[in-house]
């Protein structure tokens, strides 16, 4: 690892968690004001087995999806800064634990964003390949179907998210591992790094020679591996980091051109 990670050339990988979206009005999960901190039962209700077995829970879940603040949230300064870094010419890939699609809304190229926990914009059937948009499913709820069934096979519909009790998509996980393995700089932004296997991407990156930079307001299990830990507010820290990386890249390009 280098003493000045900002000057390193090569791909920049990122792992983003709920903390990057709090400035967009979406609460995190495990922070002091997090969804699960304030209501521990909410975490228990996020399990796949409960969802499939309990029709009343599914009715509650559809109402919660309707009212979820992420449906109408807008990207904040941190999301936009990461898109600017990509568009500056740096090789950037984002692994996100978030399901809010704010990276894409903020300008990041969709194919460069790996949604390791799925997304809330789509709805899938648990049995067949039927897929639709959340907006379309919620229109059915508003029209009087409290627990809309799959129109193709009649089975249960759910958000295209990975719930507790579900396995991550193997191809998506492989893509994330490739990003971590091939990064020169790996930024972990707004994540408690307590959820596996996403958090282990930090260890994978460091093992393959990356400088790990953690941007989070609380300690994480991986702080000891980091080249730098930044506790500043994410909305301030990320635009500053991006500006430093862009400036370092510009300086390197000018030096090589001489």
Helix, strand, coil % in the chain, rounded to nearest 5: 45, 20, 40
Q: What is the dihedral of CA 158, 27, 121, 151, to 10 degrees?
A: 20
User: DSSP character for 210?
Assistant: P
| Helix ranges, the chain (H) | 35-38, 40-44, 48-53, 55-67, 77-87, 102-105, 134-142, 170-181, 201-207, 234-257
What are the tokens at 218? 């609380």
Closest CA to 21 of 92, 111, 94, 126: 94
Annotated catalytic residue, options 72, 87, 117, 224: 117
Q: Where is 16: in which H helix or E strand?
A: strand 12-16
Q: Are 117 and 105 in contact (CB under 8 A)?
A: no
Torsion (CA) 206, 212, 218, 219 in degrees, nearest 10: 40
**117 labelled catalytic:** yes
Query: End-to-end distance of the chain based on CA atoms, in angstroms?
Result: 27
Asked if 80 and 107 count as a contact pair (C-beta separation under 8 A), the reply is yes
Q: Which residues are annotated as catalytic?
A: 117
């Amino acid at each position: 690892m280098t003493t000045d990670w900002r000057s390193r050339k090569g791909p920049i990988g990122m792992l983003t968690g709920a903390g990057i979206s709090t400035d967009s009005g979406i609460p995190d999960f495990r922070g002091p004001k997090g969804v699960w901190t304030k209501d521990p039962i909410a975490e228990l209700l996020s399990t796949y087995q409960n969802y499939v077995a309990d029709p009343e829970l599914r009715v509650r879940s559809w109402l919660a999806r309707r009212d979820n603040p992420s449906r109408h949230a807008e990207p904040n300064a941190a999301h936009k800064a990461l898109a600017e870094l990509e568009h500056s010419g740096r090789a950037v890939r984002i692994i996100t634990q978030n399901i809010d699609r704010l990276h894409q809304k903020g300008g990041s190229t969709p194919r460069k964003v790996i949604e390791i926990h799925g997304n809330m914009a789509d709805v899938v059937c648990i049995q067949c390949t039927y897929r639709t948009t959340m907006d379309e499913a919620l229109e059915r709820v508003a029209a009087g179907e409290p627990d809309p069934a799959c129109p193709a096979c009649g089975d249960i519909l759910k958000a295209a998210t990975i719930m507790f009790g579900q396995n991550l998509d193997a191809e998506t996980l492989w893509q994330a591992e490739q990003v971590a393995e091939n990064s020169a700089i790996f930024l972990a932004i707004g994540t408690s790094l307590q959820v596996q296997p996403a958090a282990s991407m930090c260890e994978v990156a460091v093992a393959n020679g990356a400088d790990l930079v953690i941007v989070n307001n609380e300690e994480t299990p991986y702080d000891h591996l980091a080249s730098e830990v930044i506790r500043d507010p994410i909305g301030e820290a990320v635009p500053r980091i991006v500006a430093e990386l862009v400036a370092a890249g510009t300086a390197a390009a000018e030096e090589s051109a001489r």
